[in-house]
């Protein structure tokens, strides 16, 4: 990777700094989503894909994966609600 000179970064004009900051923000949220997707896939693959006979997912597996993700997210919301009600 090529080195980036610190001074040349500090000397960037305001618009360029904003542009870079925006880029970093975009990349960060993209990375967060990718990271979550990998974690969800890891979790749901374990639950839903029990046999490996060919390279394709069958109907049941696809349906299970979709349900798995959505029920996990539901669970997540429920947990937050429970914690909120405990705080009161």
Partner 1 sequence: MGSFLGFGGGNKNEGSTAPAADSQALEVKSKIKNSIAQEMATAYATGLVNALSENCFQKCIIKPSDSLSTADEKCISDCASKFMRSWNLISKEYISRINKQS
| Closer residue to partner 1 in complex, CB, 10/85 | 10
Residue 26 CA, chain-centre distance (Å), reads: 13
CB of 18 to partner 1, least distance (A): 11
Residue ranges in contact with partner 1 by CB under 8 A: 1-2, 4-13, 16, 19-20, 23-24, 27, 30-31, 33-38, 40-42, 44-46, 48-49, 52-57, 61-62, 65-66, 69-70, 73
Rank residues 15 and 86 by Cβ distance to partner 1 and give the closer one: 15
Shortest approach of partner 1 to residue 81 CB, angstroms?
Answer: 15
Label residues 39-68 b or e (16+ Cβ within 10 Å = b).
Answer: eeeeebeeebeeeeeeeeeeeebeebbeeb
Phi, psi of 54 (to 5 degrees): -150, 180
Q: How far apart are CA 38 and CA 35, in angstroms?
A: 5
Least distance (Å) between residue 85 CB and partner 1: 20
């Amino acid at each position: 990777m090529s080195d980036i000179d610190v001074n040349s970064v500090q000397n960037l004009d305001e618009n360029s700094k904003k542009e870079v900051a925006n880029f970093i923000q975009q990349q960060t949220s993209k990375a967060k989503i990718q990271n979550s997707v990998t974690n969800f896939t890891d979790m749901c693959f374990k639950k839903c894909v029990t046999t490996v006979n060919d390279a394709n997912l069958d109907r049941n597996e696809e349906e299970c994966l979709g349900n798995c993700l959505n029920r996990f997210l539901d669970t997540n919301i429920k947990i937050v609600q429970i914690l909120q009600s405990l705080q009161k």
